[in-house]
Amino acid sequence: MKREELYLQKNYLKEIITNDFRYIGEIRSIKPINHNDINSKNFLVECKKSKYVLKFLRNHQKKRNYQIQKILNKANLNGIKVAIPMKNVSKKKETDSAVFLFKFHNGKIFSGSSKELESFALELARLHKFLKKYKVRLEPERNFQTYQILSSSEFREIKNHIQKKSAIDKTDKIVIKKLEFLKKISKSHKIFEKEYESFNFKKQLIHNDLHISNIMFSKRNVSVILDFYFMKNGVVLEDVTYSALRLAEQTSRKFIEIEKIVNNFLKMYSKYNKIDNDELQNFNYFLSKNSLARINHILRNRYFYNSNLWIQQLPLHLRLLEFSYRIQLEV
């Protein structure tokens, strides 16, 4: 039996928890959590006094995840609102386990209030300031190649693949319609990235996956930031712009309002952690980078690996990518 199939069996999960986290007490129930995370399977574990989230990482990179675990523990000790993995008390090495247990955080996602926006701007700035001190070079996340810019030959293959189909579906029609737009954006990103090193952007550890489900609020304040397993060495503006865009899109579908929220968030964040002018001069590149990367990942999975994982998010990221090149930075 494959390891992932084992982890879907409640009795096996209960055995792991009893062995690795026995101090949490008697387990009353274990229920799968429905979510869009393709990199892990999550379960709600209910005990007599507390609730926990059990996370099984599908692509467990021992050294990388152990480093992230140490960083999160230190961040928590420094008052940063992050979810930290609980101590594994089994005799096996900490790096060997693909299973992590977290306290359950009963918060809400972003509702659109300015107080929540300000609270997250402050918390993200505090997180970045802490991570800046942490001089660690993380190995790349295992699937990082699938997020890279699509080549001209890959675009041709995608087009040929669709044209050869006996029947095309709604997704294929969307892709064909947006193919020239994606080729144009990809070309501009490639040109920029050839000159990337000459800009001397300041790199540090960043979260790299700040969508709305990874930021929880309680009473209009950030209660916890979740899921650091895409963490990488990057530029802080990648985190700032992507999270601002996702929070804005959660609030409104109107471009003028999204543009206003993105600019307001940048101003709020900059009060606590100044962004370099070199980065701001390339604002639209950073604003679009994460959405383009996710589109690349979705298209490669669908047309080269016969997988529709995250395909339901393609229209969202296409919309965000289009917004990214229309939004003007207020000086």
3-state secondary structure 115-153: HHHHHHHHHHHHHHHHHHCCCCCCCCCCCHHHHCCCCHH
Give the E-state strand segments of 156-272 in sequence order. Answer: 204-206, 215-218, 221-225, 232-234
Instruction: Name the burial class of residue 269, with classes exposed (0-12), middle (13-18) and buried (19+) by CB atoms within 10 angstroms of its CB.
Output: buried
Radius of gyration of the chain (CA): 21
Distance from C-alpha of 264 to C-alpha of 301, rounded to nearest angstrom: 35
Distance from C-alpha of 255 to C-alpha of 90, rounded to nearest angstrom: 52
Nearest 10 degrees: CA dihedral of 109, 112, 113, 117? 70
Residue 23: C-alpha distances to residues 29, 30, 101, 180 (Å) = 16, 16, 12, 56
**Structure token digits, residue 30:** 């274990």
**Structure token digits, residue 127:** 């997180």
Q: Which residue has the tokens 């675009």?
A: 155
Q: How far is C-alpha 318 from the chain's CA centre? A: 17
pTM: 0.91
Which of 253, 36, 205, 212 is closest to 120 using CA atoms? Answer: 212
Provide long-range contacts, Cβ within 8 A and 24+ apart, for 303-311: 303/157, 303/158, 303/161, 303/162, 304/154, 304/157, 309/38, 310/36, 310/38, 311/171
User: pLDDT tens track of the chain, all 331 residues?
Assistant: 455 555 557 788 888 888 889 999 999 999 988 765 666 788 999 998 899 999 887 666 888 888 998 999 999 999 999 999 898 888 665 545 678 899 999 899 999 999 999 999 999 999 999 999 988 888 888 788 999 999 999 999 999 999 999 999 999 999 999 999 999 999 999 999 988 878 889 999 999 999 999 999 999 999 999 999 899 999 999 999 999 999 999 999 999 999 999 999 999 999 999 999 999 999 999 999 999 999 999 999 999 999 998 999 999 999 999 999 999 999 6
Q: Which residue has the tokens 């959660």?
A: 250
**pLDDT in the model for residue 95:** 45
Distance from C-alpha of 113 to C-alpha of 216, rounded to nearest angstrom: 13
Helices (H) then strands (E): counts for the chain = 11, 8
Residue 75: C-alpha distances to residues 57, 94, 105, 182, 274 (Å) = 21, 19, 17, 38, 20
Alpha helix segments (H runs only) across 195-282 = 236-251, 255-272, 277-280
**pLDDT in the model for residue 247:** 96
Distance from C-alpha of 85 to C-alpha of 65, rounded to nearest angstrom: 11
Which of 37, 296, 38 is closest to 145 using CA atoms? Answer: 296
Phi, psi of 22 (to 5 degrees): -60, -20
Query: Which domains are assigned to the chain?
Result: 3-103 (3.30.200.20), 114-324 (3.90.1200.10)
